Amino acid sequence: MNVIIWLEKYGLLFMLLFCLSVFTPDFTNKMSAVDHELDVLTNSLAQSNTFKQVFWIFVFMFFSFRFLINTEINKLKPVITYKTFFLMVICAVALMSASWSNYPFISMKRAIFQVLFCTSLSVGLCFSYYHKSIELNLKLAVIICILMVLSAVLQGVGLNESLQLAGYSKSKNTMGVNLVVLIVISHMWTKSFNINSKFLNGMLVLLFLLLVLTQSKTSILLCVIYFLMTKLSLFKIKVITSSLAIIFFSVFILIPGVSYHINDYQHIALYVDDDFFTGRGVIWDALYYDLGFFDVITLGYGYGSYFGVGVIPFVLDDKYSFLQYVSSAHNGYLQLLLQFGVVGSLFIFILLMISMLKSNNKYLHAALIIPILHNVTESSIFRDVNMAWLLMVVIIISSGIYQVRYEVNNAR
């Protein structure tokens, strides 16, 4: 088989496996939550990941070149370009934020990575659809993920001290979100593109059983909510997802930003206990205080220039507190506010909303509930190779592909 065609067909699989951490598994004894935070912080202070850079640069160059010269996918090109445009504008905002960041090189590097990531994933999905290899990519990704989990368990390192399944990931929560996103992507694609595979359906059941074994309450709940959402009409799904997105954006970003500028600073951390959501109350309070104290709530610190820059943020630098090990805001909306301020966050939020306006597929809209809700307790949206962000990008691009498919079928 021609190597170029082979890469076009299975490039999506390799990107999925990368984001599922299959290429960088953790076969060590699993750690506590605080140790995991420290491990993430330590890794962020280490030197650049050469494999990661080479992998995404190669994938980006290959798919970009093939997308430009391939005339057989001309029907898909306009909609893929249109959908990717919104993601590229968001990346452009991230690049612009380097101009006011204290760490401009880090901001630019992380923004450029997002360009590589979003473009590669978008075009890779396009070619996978064109070659009719989505089903095979899904089957292989699911099988490999299950085998990796079983391998970790057989080595005696798949469970943590509480007998929760962490598999080949560093923690059970990471394993949980990986599994739920893989389940949701597989289900929404099979339903959206009429893939009828008893084998894949059986594998999804097995994935859900593994998800239950992680005992990750958030991930299990998200998975159940998604399947319940698919039972509703498209209109009801759109109302629910849009309402929740607007509410969370208002609570965590808009209200703090506006109230600060009218000299009546209000934020959710003022009204919850420190141990709210397993300690998130104290983290959020410190970060909102930081934004107000240093007067950066308008434009933020710049993309990716608050955590993982080699310096512990001032409000978290307490050697007697676990806060010194915190490596994210544990709230994606608040993390957007830290990076882009209320102005940039509003712009990004509007772009993401617009990117889904024309979509008329209820499974894709139902899947939006995962990043919307997961972003409340973890920093997911527009963050590196996080699986919830991968799901968001996949939903946006899939909505465009489904639109073309729908129009072609109607024409026939």
**In the prediction, which pLDDT does 32 show?**
55
**In the prediction, which pLDDT does 44 show?**
43
pLDDT tens digits for 363-393? 999 999 999 999 999 999 998 878 999 999 9
Tell me the pLDDT of the chain averaged across its residues: 92
Q: Does pTM top 0.85 for this prediction?
A: yes
Question: pLDDT confidence of 42, banded at 50, 70, 90?
Answer: very low
Residue 247 has pLDDT above 50, yes or no: yes
**In the prediction, which pLDDT does 359 show?**
87
Residue 43 has pLDDT above 70, yes or no: no
Q: Measuring CA to CA, which residue among 230, 150, 151, 122 is closest to residue 183?
A: 230
pLDDT (average), residues 207-214: 96
Residue 135 has pLDDT above 70, yes or no: yes
Question: pLDDT confidence of 357, banded at 50, 70, 90?
Answer: confident
Out of 55-59, 236-240, 310-314, 365-369, pick the least confident: 310-314
pLDDT tens digits for 92-120? 999 999 999 999 999 999 999 999 999 99
**In the prediction, which pLDDT does 182 show?**
96
**In the prediction, which pLDDT does 358 show?**
82
**In the prediction, which pLDDT does 49 show?**
79
**In the prediction, which pLDDT does 353 show?**
94
Residue 46 has pLDDT above 80, yes or no: no
